[in-house]
Amino acid sequence: MTDNKGVTYQGPGKVEVQTIDYPGFELKDGPGVNPANVGRKVRHGAIIKTVATNICGSDQHMVRGRTTAPPGLILGHEITGEVVETGPDVEFVKNGDLVSVPFNIACGRCRNCKEGKTGVCENVNPDRPGSAYGYVDMGGWPGGQANYVLVPYADWNLLKFPDKDQAMEKILDLAMLSDIFPTGFHGCVTAGVKPGSTVYIAGAGPVGLAAGVSAFLLGAAVVIIGDLNKDRLAQARSFGCETIDVSQGEPRDQIEQILGEPEVDCGVDAVGFEARGHGAEAGTEHPATVLNSLMDTTRAGGALGIPGLYVTGDPGAADEAAKQGSLSIRLGLGWAKSLAFTTGQCPVMRYNRQLMMAILNDRVQIAKAVNATPIPLDQAPRGYEDFDKGAARKYVLDPNGVLVS
């Protein structure tokens, strides 16, 4: 049997690269696997030899101990790779295909999938709609920070790159299609970004940077990104964004200095539940800060795209309400301003083909914008550590030695 190694969560602040089972076409018991999924046949699946698999900020929430993820969970939901084996029910995907794997696991058969809401598929997670590879409370499908990974419903889920050689020339850009590029794009689309828009994006991590790229792709006139991290703000400026340091005060005041008015047309939350305060409170967590500030800075009649992660269980929260995902949101302000809100997982399949075409035809350089940095799989623990410290990089793991010589 071919060797397989993967990145596993071992408890707060600790990940290890361990030998794991080579994937088969049946979901086995293991850390985080829903009992109702144990023994599930995956005749419709494909086994992927991983070419690139990214460290995501959502992974970092688990590694920090801010979720109920169990030790031993195999991490990773941003997967790009080559098909090496298919189940007997796969018709169209072939061995040798180079593919992008949407982080949402979707069946293609349920009502939500048929309506394009692949982030809340009803058939892959027995607990609730929605699933993802290597993620807490998502059904227990093994993650893709590994040499090999199983992808169910392969004909439906996989996006094949049309020319393998061309794709390998742009593989770091294409590796962003599994999650952060569509997620940032979704945040902007749901915030109503269009030609001439002014946009404020909270957060200059990889998703926030991807949202900045997306806003320009959609025709925004001015894109402003706010963060506490000076290196990440410099990365945002590298491709034309205006920036504000929220440790210096409220976004509203700094937005006015840039635009001449304190409000923008569109707001995007690329931070999520581990948000920190602004100004003098920047050193402490205030999980509702970003949502409240976006309501304050988005014009009446505007919209908020909220791709930033919010959870139903946060054992590390500062108060009991936040531990249950209950935040002190100024909903009255949002209601009074007739703001629209869009939350939840990005339905990656709604956007990934279009964004692939933009990459392949040189309309966007997403890897450069997010500072994609490939590292070997065995350096994953260091990658997680550096990312947690605020490195202005998007770490791309290279399990099979394709990216890093």
Query: What crossing angle do the helices spanning 352-360 and 180-190 adopt, rounded to 10°?
Result: 110
CB atoms within 10 A of CB 106: 27
Side-chain-side CA neighbours of 97 within 13 Å: the count stands at 20
Q: How far apart are CA 148 and CA 21, in angstroms?
A: 9
Across the range 25-30, mean pLDDT stands at 95
Q: Beta strand pairing status for 46-54 and 5-11?
A: unpaired
Alpha helices by DSSP H, 176-285: 180-190, 206-217, 230-237, 251-259
Residue 106, SS3 per DSSP? coil
pLDDT at 327 over 90: no
pLDDT tens digits, one per residue of 137-177? 999 999 999 999 999 999 999 999 999 999 999 999 999 99
Which region among 86-100, 209-223, 298-312 has the lowest average model confidence (pLDDT)?
298-312
Q: Does the predicted model carry a pTM greater than 0.85?
A: yes
Q: Which of 127, 47, 136, 58 is nearest to 90 (CA)?
A: 47
pLDDT tens digits, one per residue of 35-72? 999 999 999 999 999 999 999 999 999 999 889 899 99
Give the tokens for residue 227: 């963060």
CA–CA distances in Å: residue 220 to residues 210, 215, 242, 257 = 14, 5, 12, 18
CA–CA distances in Å: residue 202 to residues 222, 321, 322, 343, 348 = 14, 23, 20, 15, 21
Domains (range + CATH), the chain: 4-179+348-398 (3.90.180.10), 180-343 (3.40.50.720)
Q: Beta strand pairing status for 148-151 and 46-54?
A: antiparallel
Across the range 103-127, mean pLDDT stands at 97
Question: Which value, to the nearest 10 degrees, does the dihedral of the CA atoms of residues 326, 180, 213, 330 take?
Answer: 0
pLDDT at 317 over 80: no
How high is the mean pLDDT of the chain? 95
